[in-house]
């Protein structure tokens, strides 16, 4: 039995519309996952943000420690032990009967 040509065209157009829709869906689904602003890119940015925040925390701690050491050398809050330590490090002065342990 032969299918009339109108029905055949209608069937082909439905098939093409379905295939086009499916292809469009696949295209957008792929870019949703792998695109520049997709799921995997977002996960990478989240990981990079966490690493950067951790590094920032370490640098902030180090900065606060250095600021505290500098504060101890200011004229208004001079710590004599800190001044003595810095003078020995910079000038290299040590008495013969002393032992010096330098920390970084």
pLDDT for 61-83, tens place per residue? 999 999 988 887 777 877 788 77
In a domain, 74, yes or no: no
Percentage with pLDDT > 90 across the chain: 45
- 26 lies in some domain: yes
Is 28 within a domain? yes
- Range 60-65 contact pairs with CB under 8 angstroms and sequence separation of 24 or more: none
- What's the predicted TM-score (pTM) here? 0.51
Structural domain count, the chain: 1
CA gap 10, 7 in Å, rounded? 5
19 occurs within a structural domain: yes
Give me the domain span that covers residue 21: 1-34
Coil, strand or helix at 93: coil
Whether the Cβ atoms of residue 59 and residue 52 lie closer than 8 Å to each other: no
**Assigned domain for 21 exists:** yes
């Amino acid at each position: 039995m032969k299918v009339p040509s109108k029905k055949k065209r209608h069937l082909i157009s439905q098939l093409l519309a379905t295939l086009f829709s499916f292809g469009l869906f696949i295209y957008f689904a792929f870019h949703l996952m792998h695109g520049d602003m997709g799921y995997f890119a977002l996960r990478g940015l989240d990981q990079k943000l966490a690493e950067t925040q951790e590094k920032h925390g370490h640098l902030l701690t180090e900065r606060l420690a250095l600021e505290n050491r500098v504060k101890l050398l200011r004229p208004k809050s001079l710590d004599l032990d800190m001044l003595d330590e810095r003078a020995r490090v910079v000038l290299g002065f040590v008495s013969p009967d002393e032992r010096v342990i330098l920390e970084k």
